[in-house]
């Protein structure tokens, strides 16, 4: 069982070292590391000098174009994207994913996807919080009607399927959501299982592209959901998202008010 770890970089010298160290620390060693760089000028390439990886550095049309380059190059059985600043949760992560593949193959076909939970960390790698959406026990392509339940960095796709469903470059901020759904659709068509790996498998750097471009990302995600689930379902689910956000905000505001109240200190 082999993995292709794909890391996309562009002027990422400040956060890349943690990713390199995380990959290098994995106890499971049957992997290749592909680093697709967008012609960085900030010292990113200096960090990669002497590092054991396949590095391509050239201008591209954005992060998803770079990801497609990585897919075309991948030789492992499974592919996972671990971009600059993101890390595996611990040194045994790949080992646990490989063990889940082997265990599943005792009675079922090779899984199309393996997935797990994600923690959010800061630029120093310090834990901030669990990701607000948790990976479900049973995942299908319909699951993403409720949001992107599995983080991109916690989504291991069978390379044969991943390569035949490249990222759609019409999306600038949410092509990863569309890609995951299409991979899972193909898995269902081929009757291949999606397998949950227990626990956290990825640490995601807070403040990624979808955070920096929040409004544009939300608009694109609406279009992605409409494409796969239809307009009516998408409208209903976004109404639920809105109500959930209002309730969460109201509860947070109440808690802040209560904690700051003089009487609360005597309880």
92 contacts 29 by C-beta, under 8 angstroms:
no
**C-alpha–C-alpha distance, residues 95 and 99, integer Å:** 6
Residue with tokens 């990701």: 131
State how far the Cα of 209 lies from the Cα of 153, in Å rounded to an integer: 14
3-state helix, strand, coil in the chain (%, to 5): 45, 20, 35
Distance (Å, whole) CA 53 – CA 47 = 12
Report the pLDDT value the prediction gives residue 36, as an integer from 0 to 100: 98
What's the Rg (C-alpha) of the chain? Answer: 20
Query: To 10 degrees, what angle do helices 175-189 and 214-229 make?
Result: 20
The answer to whether 67 touches 163, Cβ cutoff 8 Å, is: no
Going by their DSSP bridges, the two strands 113-121 and 78-81 should be labelled as unpaired
What pLDDT score was predicted for residue 209? Answer: 56
7 has which bridge partners?
35
Tokens of 80: 């996972």
pTM of the model: 0.88
Q: Output the pLDDT for position 216.
A: 86
Q: For residue 220, what pLDDT is reported?
A: 93
* DSSP notation for 128-158: EEE-SSPPPSS--GGGGGGS--S-GGGEEEE
Tens-binned pLDDT, residue by residue, of the chain (267 aa): 899 999 999 999 999 999 999 999 999 999 999 999 999 999 999 999 989 999 999 999 999 999 999 999 999 999 999 999 999 999 999 999 999 999 887 767 899 999 999 999 998 889 999 998 899 999 999 999 988 999 999 999 999 999 999 999 999 999 999 999 999 999 999 999 999 999 999 999 987 555 567 788 888 999 999 999 999 999 988 787 677 666 655 554 544 444 554 444 334
């Amino acid at each position: 069982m082999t993995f292709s770890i794909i890391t996309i970089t562009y002027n990422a010298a400040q956060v890349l070292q943690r990713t390199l160290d995380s990959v290098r620390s994995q106890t499971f060693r049957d992997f290749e590391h592909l680093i697709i760089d967008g012609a960085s000028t900030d010292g990113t390439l200096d960090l990669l000098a002497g590092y054991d990886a396949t590095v391509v550095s050239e201008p591209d049309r954005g992060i998803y174009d770079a990801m497609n380059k990585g897919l075309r190059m991948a030789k492992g059985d499974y592919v996972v994207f671990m971009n600059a600043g993101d890390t595996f949760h611990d040194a045994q992560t790949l080992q646990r994913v490989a063990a889940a593949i082997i265990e599943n193959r005792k009675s079922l076909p090779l899984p199309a996807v393996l997935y797990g939970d994600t923690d959010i960390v800061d630029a120093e790698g310090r834990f901030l919080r669990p990701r607000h959406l948790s990976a479900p026990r049973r995942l299908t392509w319909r699951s993403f009607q409720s949001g992107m339940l599995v983080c991109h960095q916690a989504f291991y796709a069978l390379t044969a399927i991943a390569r035949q469903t490249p990222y759609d470059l019409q999306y600038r901020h949410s092509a990863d959501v569309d890609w995951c759904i299409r991979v899972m659709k193909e898995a269902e068509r081929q009757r291949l299982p999606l397998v949950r790996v227990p626990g956290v498998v990825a640490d995601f750097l807070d403040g990624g592209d979808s955070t920096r471009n929040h409004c544009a990302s939300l608009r694109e995600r609406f279009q992605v959901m409409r494409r796969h689930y239809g307009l009516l379902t998408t409208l209903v689910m976004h109404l639920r998202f809105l109500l959930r956000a209002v309730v969460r905000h109201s509860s947070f505001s109440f808690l802040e008010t209560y904690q700051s109240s003089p009487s609360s200190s005597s309880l």
